[in-house]
Amino acid sequence: MKPLNAMRGATSHLLLCLISVIAVSTYGSPVVVNTWPFVDATSEAWRSLLESADPNFAALNAVEQGCSKCENDQCDFTVGYGGSPDEDGETTLDAMIMSGKDMQVGSVCNLRHVKDAISTARLVMDRSTHTTLSGLQATAFAQEMGMMLTNLSTPASSSAFYSWKEARCQPNFRCHVSPKASESCGPYKQDNAESDQLYADSANSHIRHSSASSTWPSRQDHDTIAMVAIDAKGNIAAGASSNGASHKVPGRVGDACVAGGAAYADNDVGGCGSTGDGDLHLRFQPCYQVVESMRQGATPKQAAEDAVQRIVKHYPLYVGALFAVDKAGNHAGACHGWTFQYAFQDNTLNAPQIVTVQPVNIKTKQVNTLDNAQR
């Protein structure tokens, strides 16, 4: 496989239908970067980064506080309580936090009845030797650790759920079931009569996946705050929090609670945060890929583009985005299928700055050519 810079040179004649933006922070200085223009979360993380009582945990504390701010503020109603009800009308939360210093991770998946998802993930990391807890057992752990139980639904989320039910549960994430998911709310069972169609769709998995919901993912139906912080000692932390996909099948786990999916960090290299189609992110682990590409010498811009292209090759209708940050604080974003914005703050700024990334669709044939150039 040729180096990424050689790949870019070999394919410069192609229309690269992926726009990425790169920004540079002062070498060695602290920085906070997060998905979307959630600037209040950026500011809270930056404040924590500078004021942390223990400099050894400044980056971790910053990520926890920044994501907590978004949870409490219900950022876009796609983070925290009161958003994205599942098929049963319940809001559940996914979150993770990671230390790039020692590669420790704590996460909670499908967390119920506890608002503080990122802080519960931090407790999993600090107060157990496990990496991930899920469901009601994660709730029980949180309660043991002093978290308060509460109802995660709100009048707004309940209204959204009942409106969805009145619209015959459209859109949804079911397929090859009886009654037809495109016409009914269920309850569903396997439809053996559609076995031939199931196999046909398997050969065109990018079509089947992307058509599962005509409106998802979008800023209104699914989103994640993913954040990376680098402190004055060079420690890197990453984290993510989300209430998942609206009208998801109960029990669904998103990428926001999986290291490498929505976020990743390594002090030797840098960090990454992603947003968008969490089901695909679980298959490709784009943030892990970003960090590994930077480890091999790629710039944040190159690593971000490459990770997105790997997904688009197999799923041309993929909708998502990510940012990459190297250990020096240089950062870049890449996206596909929507316009992406990320926020950052460092010592050169008095307030968070927003970077906008404009996407242009990549044609499958061109991406395959890019892939061939790597061999």
* Residues annotated as catalytic (active site), given as ranges: 224
d(C-alpha 37, C-alpha 39), whole Å: 5
Amino acid at 116: D
Per-residue tokens: 224: 């994640």
d(C-alpha 196, C-alpha 176), whole Å: 10
The overall longest dimension of the chain from CA atoms, in Å, is: 63
* Distant-in-sequence, close-in-space partners of 8: CB < 8 Å, separation ≥ 6: 302
CB of 17 within 8 A of CB of 363? Answer: yes
CB of 278 within 8 A of CB of 256? Answer: yes
Residues found in the chain = 375
Distance from CA of residue 235 to its chain's centroid? Answer: 21
Pair type for strands 105-111 and 132-134: parallel
d(C-alpha 7, C-alpha 64), whole Å: 37
